Amino acid sequence: MSSSTFIPFFDHTPAAPKICGITTPEDALGCIESGTGALGFNFYPLSPRSIPVNADLSWIAKLKTDYPDIALVAVVVNPEEELLERLEKAACFDAIQFHGDESPEFCVTEGIRFPRWIKALRIRSEADLEAATAFKTQFLLLDAAVPGTYGGSGHTIDWNLASGFVAAHPEMRVVLAGGLNPSNVGDAVQSVHPHAVDVASGVESAPGVKDPVKVREFILAALSA
């Protein structure tokens, strides 16, 4: 694939959307063909989109070989060393996304094992956004705060809060998540002006199963906004 085929996810603003919760090679390829800039692979055992820690990751490595311009992101929640070691040794992830209650110190220490790291934050208030500046990364993902979940809830966040943060921190590459779908992502982009958008449940026919029509519509709506 030519590098000009895709919008580089980490280096270009606005970036092509990130489709998260990929569980099969077929879904991954469908998203790539639709124009995604990044794919997220969930390694949180309690998620319906989870990939087991001991699973064969060779299909993900092949994606990296075949589509080097697509950013591959490992999504973890309060990860144990066993998981981090396995993901590091896989050598196919462009970034690790800490989506749990990880401290800034933990993220810095463990994030350097990967080319980049992203911190996901569950946003309820201005105080949550103020805490975001403690994480020493350029890449922050803003998600909805829903009790008992670590993302993928289908709930939106306060776009006004997110917009204010983006405007106040132009040095940050903010990825907007939380309840996005083909119908609202265009409005979200116009309201918040994020670096990129992230979706999981909003483009699925069932948990962990991507709907190719919804994926195409989502990416088109995001890139056209």
pTM of model > 0.85: yes
pLDDT score at 145: 67
31 is catalytic: no
pLDDT score at 156: 83
Range 53-68 average pLDDT? 94
pLDDT score at 147: 52
Low-confidence winner among 79-93, 110-124, 126-140, 183-197 (lowest mean pLDDT): 126-140
Please give the Cα distance from 132 to 123 (Å, whole number).
10
**Residue 4 pLDDT more than 50?**
no
- Within 10 angstroms of residue 191's Cβ, the number of other Cβ atoms is 16
**Residue 115 pLDDT more than 60?**
yes
Judge residue 100's burial from the number of C-beta atoms within 10 Å of its C-beta, 0-12 exposed, 13-18 middle, 19 or more buried.
Answer: middle
pLDDT score at 1: 34
Q: What percent of the chain has pLDDT over 90?
A: 79
143 is catalytic: yes
Q: Where are the beta strands (DSSP E) in 91-186?
A: 95-98, 117-123, 139-144, 173-176
Among candidate residues 27, 31, 94, 143, the one labeled active-site is 143
Please give the Cα distance from 102 to 150 (Å, whole number).
12
Of 164, 117, 120, which Cα lies nearest the Cα of 141? 120
Condensed to tens digits (0 to 9), the pLDDT of residues 194-220 reads: 999 999 999 999 989 999 999 999 999
**Residue 22 pLDDT more than 90?**
yes
pLDDT score at 146: 58
Per-residue confidence band for 5, with pLDDT thresholds at 50, 70 and 90: very low
Q: What mean pLDDT, rounded, does the chain reach?
A: 91
pLDDT score at 123: 86
Lookup result for tokens 């306060």: 158
Among candidate residues 20, 31, 92, 107, the one labeled active-site is 20
User: CA-CA distances (angstroms) from residue 64 to 67, 183, 185, 205?
Assistant: 5, 30, 27, 26
Low-confidence winner among 126-135, 184-193, 203-212 (lowest mean pLDDT): 126-135
pLDDT score at 188: 97
